[in-house]
Amino acid sequence: MPQPESDNRRNSVDPGRSTLSAPDPLALVDLEGHLGFHLRLAQDASFRAFAGRAGVVDLRPGRYAAMVVIRNNPGITPIALSRAIVRDKSTVTPLVQDLERRNLVRRDRSTADRRSVHLTLTEEGEATLDALMEHADAHDRWLDAIVGDEKPQLLRLLRRIADALP
């Protein structure tokens, strides 16, 4: 009686990964050819790979980008930072608060304009970023290796997409 018709789709099990893995044949049929879908997958994979690599340091790409910008632009304000990393300013507030809580970033109220804040890396922040940067560099080399000599084209296309927002 219990006809196992419920296991309809072949390929039901992926005993390997508990959660996410490559898309099913199902998706490949349906969503293949949709650039947006693959953009998401690639972005996700990159993010995940970075996070996994950072490991001990436990700072994801968002924090990394912020710290790099702060290092290279000491005294930068949150607003300018938000534009640099292309995140909403309301996203940056908790981000820098977290970095401050971790003693990686200092926030100094400006004397010239009492609304604004200047961000700089603490010494611990510099050291941490040094460590993190090794992982980030490895990550970049990994990505670069994957795309090989087509990187310039890829970058060009991605930039074109990002700039074309209607």
Residues 28-57 that bind a copy of itself (CB under 8 A): 29-31, 33-50, 52-53
Torsion of CA 48, 121, 141, 44, to 10 degrees: 20
| Binding flag, residue 60, a copy of itself (CB under 8 A) | no
Q: Which of 70, 72, 97 is nearest to 81 (CA)?
A: 70
Site for DNA in 106-165 (CB under 7 A): 107, 110, 112-117
| Residue 132 binds which of a copy of itself, DNA, none (CB < 5-8 A, kind-dependent) | none
| Residues 74 to 103 in contact with DNA, rule: CB under 7 A | 77-80, 86-98
Chain residues 29-58 in contact with DNA, contact rule CB under 7 A:
44
Site for DNA in 15-34 (CB under 7 A): 15, 18-20
Q: Show Cβ contacts of residue 136 under 8 Å, excluding neighbours closer than 6 positions.
A: 50, 54, 64
Q: Number of residues interacting with a copy of itself: please give it, by CB under 8 A.
A: 84
Provide the b/e sequence for 97-133 (b: ≥16 CB within 10 Å): eebeeeebbbeeeeeeeeeebbbbbeeebeebbeebb
Q: Which CB atom, from 114 or from 160, has the smaller least distance to DNA?
A: 114
